[in-house]
Chains A and B, each alone.
Chain A
Amino acid sequence: MSTLRLPGAVYDAIRAHGERTYPHECCGALLGLKGEDGWVVTASIEAGNTRTDSAHNRYQISPFELMKLERAAREQGVAIAGFYHSHPDHPAQWSETDFNEAHWLGCSYVITAIENGVAAITNAFVLNGASEETKTFAPESLILGD
């Protein structure tokens, strides 16, 4: 199983983001470097959820914002390691929508369940596969620490 290493402050920040946007989904990017057995995250960046038509159960980061995030990561000497979002009153498991809309192969997807406004379980998944046609989500071991 691959691992996703998150600084405690990042873990706290992405969970707090989900509580703040409840009952809507939050979303953002994880920046970091590739380690031997998975991504080592150094920072998270909050993004806006453009799915204002259905923000309680959908999220989308605008491609323009994503382009700016990617540019900022490159300038900092890190990469986009993955993304995070929340599931308000829904389990911290990837959904069919999450899978269909996941295109960052090799990157981590972190999901936090927000139950009645309070962050509950946070899980991480890596998008494996060599192409769009062979992609799969696999659970990752979440390791917290600075």
Chain B
Amino acid sequence: MKIFIPTPLRQYAGGNDTVDVTASTVASALDELTGAHADLRKHLFTPEGKVRSFVNLYLNDEDVRYLPEKDKTAVKESDTLSIIPSIAGGGKL
């Protein structure tokens, strides 16, 4: 399957915007990704191993948080996984 890497993380993925992995679930796809590009791990996961709260994962067009099996969801070769850091902010209090 293809994992799409967002702009800020490409430097930690060999400069690639896409990384191909062979995996059976979303979690194992991320394991494959960070196994091949170890520097990505700290950007995607907390020290406790949880996906950072501001990191959104989309399996094709579905938010992984809302899939019944979340990161244990099975994946196919033709699937795509998009990593999308959140964007928010605002001015006066």
Contact = CB atoms under 8 A, between A and B. Distances in A.
Contacts of B17: 74, 79
Contact of A103 (B42, B58, B86, B90): B86
A67 B56 contact: yes
Contacts of A63: 56, 58, 63, 84, 86
Interface string A57-99: 1111101101100110010000111010111111100110111
Given A74-B4, A132-B43, A104 B87 contact: yes
Size bin of chain A's contact surface: 35 or more
Interface string B63-93: 1000000000000000000101111111111
Given A63-B56, A80-B7, A106-B11, A131 B87 contact: no
Interface in B25-69: 42-43, 52, 54-56, 58, 61, 63
B63 A64 contact: yes
Given A79-B17, A80-B6, A25 B91 contact: yes
A117 B3 CA distance: 42
Given A64-B63, A106-B7, A83 B92 contact: no
Nearest to A66: B84
A140 to B, nearest CB: 16
A105 interface: yes
Interface string A16-49: 0000000001010000000000000000000000
Given A63-B56, A64-B63, A98-B89, A106 B4 contact: no
24 contacts: A57-B91, A58-B90, A59-B88, A64-B63, A66-B56, A67-B56, A70-B4, A70-B82, A70-B84, A74-B4, A87-B92, A90-B91, A91-B91, A97-B93, A98-B89, A101-B86, A101-B88, A101-B90, A102-B89, A103-B54, A103-B87, A105-B8, A109-B89, A131-B42
Interface of A: 25, 27, 51, 54, 57-61, 63-64, 66-67, 70-71, 74, 79-81, 83, 85-91, 94-95, 97-99, 101-107, 109, 131-132
Given A57-B91, A104-B85, 10 more contacts: A63-B86, A64-B58, A64-B61, A67-B61, A79-B17, A87-B92, A95-B93, A101-B54, A101-B89, A103-B55
